[in-house]
Structure 1
Amino acid sequence: MLMKTAAQSLTEQLATRFGERIRNRLLAPGARLPSVRQCAQQQGVSPSTVVAAYDQLLAQGLVEARKNRGFFVREMAAALDTHAPGAMNQVASAKITAGAPSPHAPVNATALIRGMFHGSSDKPQPGMGVLPPQWLETTFMPAAVRKVTGTRALQEFSLQYGEPAGDSGLRRSLSKKLAGLNVPALPAQIVTTVGATHALDVVSRTLLRPGDHVMVEEPGWAVEFARLSALGMRILPVPRRADGPDLAVMAQYCAAHAPKLFVSVSVFHNPTGYCLTPGSAHRVLQLANEHNFHIVEDDTYSHLAPVHATRLCALDGLQRTIYVSGFAKILAPNWRVGFLAAPPNLVERLLDTKLLATLTTPALLEKALAWCIDQGQLRRHAERIRTRLDLARARSVKLALAHGCTFAAEPAGLFGWVETGVDTDALSQRMLDEGYLLAPGALFHASRQPSTLMRINFATTQEVAFWKVFARLRDAMN
């Protein structure tokens, strides 16, 4: 709670609290601040204190007032230097000019990413997209690095650029690994990248041009919406169902817009946890052949999924499909090792795009990863993680149900798609006061709109303390 001190008034404290969250992107551009009455109740201050604090935020250029709607975080807030000469004149005029809302909310995905790096508290964070660091601790990873950094070996590959497509040993290991998933990819069809997100970016920059239409599953990964929007693509949201994408909607898009690409998460879809069925996969591939578009299949969660899960790339044999994955979720987030496997006729174009952006990727960590795969260490580690995650999921689901939540999708994989009964954008702001970062449902849609859903990480929602705070604040909102 705010407490008046000689050094700082309640108004200044409240303005500082919101200002820090906006600058750290914990409050995303376009997010609505609580109403004056709601904020006064939440913070235990008078409405006049809230009005004065919001007025300070307006003067700093961090928020804007929209007539009859309230106060919203400005899209351009991060770029404003309020200490520069003339800056106060610029923001003063902004106080009386209500800006139009952005047509896309995807940029708000950066709030979740920055929250991951910023760390709102030392509590387990329900909105995180990764496993807890202690789950990923191993003894074999340091051993792998030591193995490949003998004095002579380290000097050999440190003093020259690596192989353009990535370490050949790793690409051979990945080829064998993909064969276990029934995805036929020769080492020459594999290109390593700086994480799976970079692989998706390489595909987009190679196959698309600004203005092209791209089909993306909705709800979907917030970062993908943001990334494609930043590249100037026109997003066509495809509703994701339990068996796969809505095929009728895809067919309509194909007839009306001739999309160039479809981005799909077939296995343990984020945020719902759905897995693609063979029948749906077959029809998606038929549409791709009929309407001449490519499919990029993001299999980021492959290490957590059963081997027999249906994958488009396995059924298609890498003809119209491109396979993307990485190792941040299961092994080493900061190693930033990802890869793509593509049809032979696309490999050189994709490689050219990679070279223009990064030249090559670091051979040291790629060689270490190859050792982890070849020695069976990664496989055994993934088995331990899956067992631990199964137990965590059971505990988290039980706590969620006990505190009045329901699941909009059958709990599976790393994430749960939870129905809360309240606006999770507003709830997430209240939870920040308690040290918890939520992932509100609006983040997972192409255009931001109020949602009562939220995505939770099963690994970080096993403590009853979080659910008690959640239930208290939700009930207060009701």
Structure 2
Amino acid sequence: MLIKTSSQSLTEQLCARFAQRIRDRLLAPGTRLPSVRQCAQQQGVSPSTVVAAYDQLLAQGLVEARKNRGFFVREPAQRDAPTEVAPPRPPQAPASQAPVDATALIRGMFHRSSSKPQPGIGVFPPDWLESAFMPAAVRKVSATPSLQAFSLQYGEPMGDSLLRRALSKKLASLGVHAGPEAIITTVGATQALDIVSRSLLRAGDPVMVEEPGWAVEFARLTALGMRLLPVPRRADGPDLDVMARYCEAHRPKLYVSVSVLHNPTGYCLSPGSAHRVLQLANRWDFHVLEDDTYSHLAPDHATRLCTLDGLQRTIYVSGFAKILAPNWRIGFVAANPALVEQLLDTKLLTTLTTPALLERAMALCIEQGQLRRHADRIRTRLEAARSRSVKLALNAGCRFAAEPAGLFGWVDTGVDTDALAQRMLDEGYLIAPGALFHAERKPSTLMRINFAATQDAAFWKKYAELVGRM
């Protein structure tokens, strides 16, 4: 809240608040600031205070005024240029626009706006992930004579052999048959996705993505120069008619899918939809990149494209950051042997090798069954959290746009969640507005909530209060 007795004037406080959010990318380039009247009502100040604050933001080059439209956050390149000589920004094609702000949620993970639970983050709270077996595994690996070998030379290019053998067994339990020679370890699942994209695609290639979908993936592909083709995601899988039309018109090179516990909806792919997707892939000669980041939370016998396809046209990616050790940054990719050398070349060009000590510790956690037992405990705890969060959300007037499942809920608020997000930030809460999950920015009444971080009744009380004023 703005403080009238502060050493700073209300104008300076308000300007500083917006400036910090712009620099932290919690307000993305192109975002429209609240109107003077709206901002005055929200902050409890006079319109003249808001006008003065916006004038200061203009002087700092952080925003621009557009006639009869309001104030908008400027692009970083524009901020570096003198205001009076900044050329007008040319219109961009929708396909090349970045999402609202893919980095906002990631930054929120590292720079918390308050000590309150953060409903918009995409990870479990740290206390959920605590365990005694992880440090024990590191101590065991560190105590062996092989520590010097791990430390004084680069590891195996493909990744630690013990971990790849453990991953091969784990994948077999999911029905994905990949020998250790078909698995490459990576610096987290995000790098695995990036390695596949850089290996198979070139700038300008059309790529089918699910919508709603993962904001970071949209931004990453856009930064690589790809043309995004959004495919509506339904409860049973992608809109197959839209996919077929894209295939005929654009001949896409890749389809990126989260088949199990889709982010943000929680949907799981049906066998019928999976079969038809693979038929399209074979007919039109494109690869399917299957992101199974939430595999540890998935229901038994969930349908995966890689299981049906046997890694012929599919490529499997997963990791452990969501369930066990975010800072170990261990991910992996499993692919057809014909692609492995190409993927390995890309890995070597980007990171050389990956940390063998932590990979060997992860192998111990898997082989000794500790990861499986840990995941069982997390699923049990998450089920209770989800039940409580759903009740609180419904009592606050929300409607679930998808059946609650997994870590995330896809919630319809009935109001513009971009505007709601800014009001919630004032109260110390980071939420994930629906616009973040679309390849092209557009207003949305939806938001994604993290069930592990939305059990706080105080959040839902403040949410209902703010929505009631909109």
**Which TM class, normalised by the smaller chain length?**
over 0.9
Mapping of residues 79-98 of structure 1, within 5 Å: 80=79, 90-94=82-86, 97=88
Alignment of 1:133 with 2:106, yes or no, is: no
Deviations 1:18-60 (A, max 9, x none): 1011111122222221111000001111111111111111111
Mapping of residues 45-444 of structure 1, within 5 Å: 45-76=45-76, 80=79, 90-94=82-86, 97=88, 100=91, 103=94, 104-106=97-99, 108-150=101-143, 152-444=145-437
Which letter maps to 2:99?
A: P
Which letter maps to 1:182?
A: G
Deviations 1:87-131 (A, max 9, x none): 6xx12444x957747841326111121122110101110001000
What is the rounded CA distance, in whole Å, between the counterparts of 1:97 and 1:44 in structure 2? 34
Deviations 1:51-85 (A, max 9, x none): 111111111111122222221212216x845xxxx
What is the rounded CA distance, in whole Å, between the counterparts of 1:17 and 1:299 in structure 2? 38
Q: CA 1:460/1:252 → structure 2, altered by over 3 Å: closer, same or farther?
A: same
Instruction: Confirm or deny: 8 A CA contact 1:30 1:102 kept in the other structure.
Output: no
- Percent of matched pairs sharing the same residue: 79
What is the rounded CA distance, in whole Å, between the counterparts of 2:243 and 2:277 in structure 1? 8
How many angstroms does 1:156 deviate by?
Answer: 1.4
Which letter maps to 1:75?
A: E
Instruction: Confirm or deny: 8 A CA contact 1:30 1:105 kept in the other structure.
Output: no
Counterpart of 1:36? 36
Instruction: Confirm or deny: 8 A CA contact 1:66 1:98 kept in the other structure.
Output: no
Instruction: Confirm or deny: 8 A CA contact 2:98 2:222 kept in the other structure.
Output: no
Instruction: Confirm or deny: 8 A CA contact 2:320 2:329 kept in the other structure.
Output: yes
What is the rounded CA distance, in whole Å, between the counterparts of 1:437 and 1:449 in structure 2? 19
Q: CA 1:206/1:440 → structure 2, altered by over 3 Å: closer, same or farther?
A: same
> SS of 2:465's equivalent?
helix
How many angstroms does 1:5 deviate by?
Answer: 4.3
Instruction: Confirm or deny: 8 A CA contact 1:130 1:329 kept in the other structure.
Output: yes
What is the rounded CA distance, in whole Å, between the counterparts of 1:463 and 1:335 in structure 2? 29
Instruction: Confirm or deny: 8 A CA contact 1:66 1:99 kept in the other structure.
Output: no
Counterpart of 1:84? none
Q: CA 1:242/1:421 → structure 2, altered by over 3 Å: closer, same or farther?
A: same
Which letter maps to 2:63?
A: V
How many angstroms does 1:224 deviate by?
Answer: 0.5
Deviations 1:283-324 (A, max 9, x none): 000000000000000000000002300000000000000000
What is the rounded CA distance, in whole Å, between the counterparts of 2:100 and 2:337 in structure 1? 34
What is the rounded CA distance, in whole Å, between the counterparts of 1:293 and 1:345 in structure 2? 15
TM-score (ref. length: structure 1):
0.96
What is the rounded CA distance, in whole Å, between the counterparts of 1:290 and 1:68 in structure 2? 51
What is the rounded CA distance, in whole Å, between the counterparts of 1:296 and 1:69 in structure 2? 41
Deviations 1:387-421 (A, max 9, x none): 00000000000000011000000000000000000
Unmatched tracts of structure 2, length 5 or more: none
Instruction: Confirm or deny: 8 A CA contact 1:106 1:229 kept in the other structure.
Output: no
What is the rounded CA distance, in whole Å, between the counterparts of 2:354 and 2:421 in structure 1? 37
Cα RMSD of the aligned pairs, angstroms, is 1.4
Which letter maps to 1:284?
A: V
What is the rounded CA distance, in whole Å, between the counterparts of 2:347 and 2:3 in structure 1? 53
> SS of 1:442's equivalent?
helix
Instruction: Confirm or deny: 8 A CA contact 1:260 1:294 kept in the other structure.
Output: yes
Query: Matched residue pairs, number?
Result: 468
Which letter maps to 1:125?
A: Q
Instruction: Confirm or deny: 8 A CA contact 1:30 1:108 kept in the other structure.
Output: no
TM-score (ref. length: structure 2):
0.97
> SS of 2:238's equivalent?
coil
Instruction: Confirm or deny: 8 A CA contact 1:28 1:110 kept in the other structure.
Output: no
